[in-house]
Amino acid sequence: MPEPLNVLLGVSGGIAAFKAPEIVRTLRGRGHRVRCAMTRSAGAFVTPLTLEVLTEHPVYREEYLEANDSGEELHISVARWADVMCVAPATCNTLARLALGLADDFMVTTSLAFTGSLLVAPAMTTEMWEKAPVQGHVAALEERGVVLVGPVVGPLATGETGMGRMAEPQDIVAAIEATRRKGDLAGRAVLITAGPTQEALDPVRFLSNRSSGKMGFSLAAEAASRGAKTHLISGPVSLPTPLGVVRVDVTTAAEMAARVEELAPESEVVIMSAAVADFRPVTTRSSKIKKGAGGPDLKLEGTEDILARLQTIAPNALRIGFAAETGELEEEARRKMKEKGAHWIVANDVSRSDIGFGSEHNEVTVFRRNKPAVTLGRQAKRRIAGRLLDLVKQELDGVEAEVAVTSG
């Protein structure tokens, strides 16, 4: 049984607070020590008594600021006690206070004194979730390394179905336990590519594809948060750079190939998740193509095969390619693995609208040389990234064990 964690569960005032007792029970059932902090509003949704009984510990509330006459600075001692702090549910208000560092209650004050892994599980209606201030606060928290767990699409308290439902308690517990893996890729050099490329036809038009870059950015965020020295070569996307990641922006397949040539030889793991254009115009017109009958006669040529090149430029790296398919997943993946000398091909079915390009979710199958395939069922891209890096970690450890046996 792995070491139990000291978990501080912050509960704010949303309907989903009724699930906080289940989170506490699941955590305790798995051997963790739990304490709870509640906002003033949270008390309207779940009683402190319930959480006190389940945690076997008094609940911290905002009154501590007035009531604490023992001289003990509780927010400091609790922040030092906790390995993980998770706010579930996190309301719009609490997300804003956490993002701005408004230390006006015990929970946010403690979050500022706390130096471990902070997770937030937002819960609200779709309209609230999509509002610019809420998205701004979430982005600010993520940029500082706060782990976002959900929200997910599902039935909401209003009776509608949509984005904003709190992640399920067992997923929140899994995310809390996943913080244990922090640092397990420390010192590893990981190179990731992400996003589409753009191949210019003329000064205003280009050939491209629907890749949003979310899968590659999730992989980079996860790798960096686990201590890997992470380089991310990205095509044109509108995503913020994850904390701790060195990002290199490119536009075309040729530029991406050139940057991979530079960085891959120093990498132990190379994950090619970019949707690189397979074709580009033979010539790029220097002036805008005029509108005319029938349209221009476009001549296309193949682009660099970056994954195949890796066999030569990074022969010792673990080489992983992504394949977006619309048909026979396994057949195509195995063909690519062989032809391009990749160790693994991560295949996803882009004909499905609920996963893949642009979606927050993905479902992939990892085909590996001489090892059974592993399917990672539909889940948030960040969680897919986590599971994929768990497999990478196992592979790196396995490779090292083999080397140690051979050399001994």
Ligand X SMILES: Cc1cc2nc3c(=O)[nH]c(=O)nc-3n(C[C@H](O)[C@H](O)[C@H](O)COP(=O)(O)O)c2cc1C
* Count of residues near ligand X by CB under 6 A: 15
Nearer to ligand X, 93 or 208 (CB): 93
Distance CA 353, CA 346 (A): 18
Stretch near ligand X under the rule CB under 6 A, chosen from 14-22, 236-244, 249-257, 361-369: 14-22
Q: How far is the CB of 123 from ligand X (least distance, A)?
A: 5
Q: How far is the CB of 65 from ligand X (least distance, A)?
A: 14
Nearer to ligand X, 21 or 216 (CB): 21
Q: List the one residue out of 188, 149, 142, 219 whose CA is nearest residue 386.
A: 219
251-255 — which CB contacts under 8 Å span 24+ positions?
A: 251/197, 251/198, 252/197, 252/198, 252/199, 252/200, 252/277, 252/280, 253/197, 253/199, 253/277, 253/280, 253/303, 253/304, 253/306, 254/280, 254/303, 254/304, 255/197
User: Quick one: which of 4, 15, 102, 279 contacts ligand X (CB under 6 A)?
Assistant: 15
User: Quick one: which of 47, 50, 93, 126 contacts ligand X (CB under 6 A)?
Assistant: 93
What residues numbered 26-45 form the site for ligand X, per CB under 6 A? 39, 41-42
Stretch near ligand X under the rule CB under 6 A, chosen from 92-100, 135-143, 187-195, 312-320: 92-100
Amino acid at 345: I
User: Quick one: which of 9, 10, 13, 329 contacts ligand X (CB under 6 A)?
Assistant: 13
Q: How far is the CB of 16 from ligand X (least distance, A)?
A: 6
Nearer to ligand X, 124 or 270 (CB): 124
Nearer to ligand X, 22 or 349 (CB): 22
Stretch near ligand X under the rule CB under 6 A, chosen from 65-73, 76-84, 121-129, 175-183: 121-129
Nearer to ligand X, 128 or 237 (CB): 128
Nearer to ligand X, 153 or 254 (CB): 153
348 binds ligand X (CB under 6 A): no
Q: How far is the CB of 122 from ligand X (least distance, A)?
A: 7
Pairing of strands 199-200, 361-368: unpaired
Q: How far is the CB of 94 from ligand X (least distance, A)?
A: 4
Helix (H) or strand (E) holding 87: strand 84-90
What residues numbered 328-347 form the site for ligand X, per CB under 6 A? none
Q: Residues 188, 351: contact at Cβ < 8 Å?
A: no
Q: How far is the CB of 109 from ligand X (least distance, A)?
A: 13
126 binds ligand X (CB under 6 A): no
Indicate the DSSP class of residue 353: T
DSSP 372-402: EEEEEEEEEHHHHHHHHHHHHHHHHHHHHHH
**Do you find a cis peptide bond into 133, omega within 30 degrees of 0?**
no
Structure tokens at 374: 């592993």
Q: How far is the CB of 12 from ligand X (least distance, A)?
A: 3
**Do you find a cis peptide bond into 155, omega within 30 degrees of 0?**
no
Stretch near ligand X under the rule CB under 6 A, chosen from 90-98, 219-227, 239-247, 286-294: 90-98
124 binds ligand X (CB under 6 A): yes
Amino acid at 27: L
Q: How far is the CB of 214 from ligand X (least distance, A)?
A: 24
Q: List the one residue out of 206, 177, 11 whose CA is nearest residue 94.
A: 11
Catalytically active residues are 209
Residue 24: helix, strand or coil by DSSP?
helix
109 binds ligand X (CB under 6 A): no
Distance CA 88, CA 44 (A): 15
Q: List the one residue out of 367, 366, 368 whose CA is nearest residue 376.
A: 366
91 binds ligand X (CB under 6 A): yes
92 binds ligand X (CB under 6 A): yes
Indicate the DSSP class of residue 19: G
Residue 129: helix, strand or coil by DSSP?
helix
Stretch near ligand X under the rule CB under 6 A, chosen from 122-130, 168-176, 273-281, 337-345: 122-130
123 binds ligand X (CB under 6 A): yes
230 binds ligand X (CB under 6 A): no
Nearer to ligand X, 167 or 189 (CB): 167
273 binds ligand X (CB under 6 A): no
Distance CA 164, CA 143 (A): 20
Q: Residues 199, 250: contact at Cβ < 8 Å?
A: no
Residues binding ligand X (CB under 6 A): 12-16, 39, 41-42, 91-94, 123-124, 128
